[in-house]
Amino acid sequence: MKKMIPFVARLDGDETQLWLKVLQDALPDYQVVAFDQVGDEQRAGVEVAIIADPDPADLALLPKLKWVQSLWAGVERLMVELPDANFDIVRLTDPQLAADMSEAALAWTLYLHRDMPAYRVQQEKKIWQHCELPLPSQRCVGFLGLGKLGTVAARRLLDNGFDVCGWSRSKADIDGVATFAGPEGLGKILKRSDILIILVPLTAQTRDLLDEKTLGLLPHGAGVINFARGPVINNRALIKALDSGHLSHAVLDVFDIEPLPQDDPLWNHAKVTILPHISARTNYQTASALAAGNIVRFFEDGDMPETVDRTAGY
């Protein structure tokens, strides 16, 4: 009999069905089953589950669970909702996701580098006037977060001629990228970043990382791109810095509340570009193949995939 892998998710019906199909295709020797179709007896023996925004109450019904494979890269919600879980969490680390994120980093950096927001405003007013365009090498792009996504994106910007620097918890070593680490490195990277790209996870340490004081360290006229999580930036401080002219523009892909509420002032701010959390979306095929690989290696070779560090929170 095929081993059963439950899929525990709080997604809409169509998305659940699509995931069940692609996961089953990727795991032909296993039986992937929606959690509500798993009987009590079967639940008692489950060691591994695949999850996508799972209900913690459902996972609590799997007493022998050893680890869960998430289909998302971020684990912020899991850290909040499963504080005492006695199983490990494996998140999605997908080279396709990193490639997509690096494309987004390049696209929105060029948007700011090439003054596209300003040309949009000029067109509305029928103004024919050029903005000074520095060379990419004269524009410093700073990455907060040099993990699976930040590292690939930093390299892509480097390939496009930008002056690139980055910041992480432990000091990273990336050819051609000036790197900084820890609280003492934060001021250093902020002071030199003409365009700041945020790719740190949301943890107790990174909540409100960019407040009035830290945003104030960025060079005058800097742009900010947030791909990470909304609460890493304090929005009141951000709006103040944009209104005063200290910052030129913010591209925001992530928000404190998603979807962004209709009455949020960010929607109508002339210096803010709003994106609906689309920078790097999980790809059904590549994510299923990666999840399947982890599961097969675990059951066939006893290999445990890399798990989330609960103490660090990511």
Residue 296 near residue 302, CB atoms below 8 Å = no
| 6, 117, 150, 230: which one binds ligand NAP (CB under 6 A) | 150
| 112, 190, 200, 250: which one binds ligand NAP (CB under 6 A) | 200
Per rule CB under 6 A, is residue 169 in the interface with ligand NAP? yes
| 228, 237, 241, 252: which one binds ligand NAP (CB under 6 A) | 228
| 6, 117, 136, 201: which one binds ligand NAP (CB under 6 A) | 201
Task: Assess whether 229 carries a catalytic annotation.
Answer: yes
Per rule CB under 6 A, is residue 156 in the interface with ligand NAP? no
> Omega before 183 cis (within 30°)?
no
Site residues for ligand NAP, 46-65, by CB under 6 A, read none
In terms of CB distance, is 114 or 171 closer to ligand NAP? 171
Per rule CB under 6 A, is residue 177 in the interface with ligand NAP? no
Task: Assess whether 277 carries a catalytic annotation.
Answer: yes
Q: How far apart are the first and last CA of the chain?
A: 36
Per rule CB under 6 A, is residue 170 in the interface with ligand NAP? yes
The rounded distance, in Å, linking the Cα atoms of 154 and 197 is 10
User: CB of 117: closest distance to ligand NAP in angstroms?
Assistant: 20
In terms of CB distance, is 74 or 219 closer to ligand NAP? 74
Per rule CB under 6 A, is residue 168 in the interface with ligand NAP? yes
Per rule CB under 6 A, is residue 287 in the interface with ligand NAP? no
Site residues for ligand NAP, 79-108, by CB under 6 A, read none
Whose CB is nearest to ligand NAP? 147
Distances (CA, A) of 186 to 153, 213, 215, 217: 19, 12, 11, 10
Which residue in the list 156, 229, 249, 269 is annotated as catalytic? 229
| 253, 260, 269, 288: which one binds ligand NAP (CB under 6 A) | 253
* Helix (H) / strand (E) containing 251: strand 247-252
Long-range contacts of 271-280 (CB under 8 A, 24+ apart): 271/117, 271/242, 271/247, 272/242, 273/108, 273/111, 273/117, 273/249, 275/251, 277/253, 278/253, 279/100, 279/101, 279/104, 279/227, 279/253, 280/73, 280/97, 280/98, 280/100, 280/101, 280/104, 280/149, 280/227
The rounded distance, in Å, linking the Cα atoms of 230 and 202 is 8
DSSP label of 171? P
Neighbour order of strands in the sheet with 48-52 = 30-34, 3-9, 48-52, 67-70, 88-90
Residue 7 near residue 49, CB atoms below 8 Å = yes
User: CB of 172: closest distance to ligand NAP in angstroms?
Assistant: 6
Per rule CB under 6 A, is residue 142 in the interface with ligand NAP? no
* Residues in binding contact with ligand NAP, number by CB under 6 A: 27
Place of tokens 């892909």: 253
Binding positions for ligand NAP, rule: CB under 6 A: 73-74, 145-150, 167-170, 199-201, 203, 205-206, 227-229, 253-254, 277, 279-280, 314
Catalytic residues: 229, 277
